Amino acid sequence: MQAGGRELVGPFVSVLLEYLRDPDADIRASAAEALGRLREMPPVVVPALVGLLDDPELLPRSNAVEALGSFGQDAAAAVPALLRYATNAGSATQRQLARETLQRIEGLPGSQAGKQ
């Protein structure tokens, strides 16, 4: 956000975190995507996105995985959950998305993503 809107980031993130629990899967997915674009408040946002990896719907899960990757190394706490997701996700596409996200978090050169 621009310098003038900096004070709005916390409340905006709080609203998006609430939307991660909305009954509508599209709203949960959109909130995850927005949080990934903002890349703010990782100590609070990353655990909330990890919680979305167990969502019953595909789109919120996919958006949560991608959003976690946007945090890079700030999402290191998500690595164990992403490793499980990369192994257990229902589709090859989702498993690949999780592996790519792990590489983004751990860094491409010499990454140990998916080798544990």
Rounded to the nearest integer, the mean pLDDT of the chain is 89
Residue 112 has pLDDT above 80, yes or no: no
Distance (Å, rounded) from C-alpha 71 to C-alpha 37?
Answer: 9
Mean of the pLDDT values across residues 80-109? 91
Closest CA to 67 of 40, 92, 89, 91: 40
Residue 115 has pLDDT above 80, yes or no: no
Distance (Å, rounded) from C-alpha 106 to C-alpha 22?
Answer: 30
CATH number, domain 3-104, options 3.40.50.1820, 1.25.10.10, 3.40.1620.10, 3.40.50.300: 1.25.10.10
**Whole-prediction pTM:** 0.86
Residue 93 has pLDDT above 60, yes or no: yes
Closest CA to 93 of 61, 52, 71: 61
Mean of the pLDDT values across residues 80-102? 95
Span 62-79, pLDDT tens digits = 999 999 999 999 999 999
Mean of the pLDDT values across residues 82-87? 96
Q: What pLDDT is stored for residue 7 in this prediction?
A: 74
Distance (Å, rounded) from C-alpha 23 to C-alpha 76?
Answer: 28
Residue 36 has pLDDT above 70, yes or no: yes
Distance (Å, rounded) from C-alpha 45 to C-alpha 17?
Answer: 7
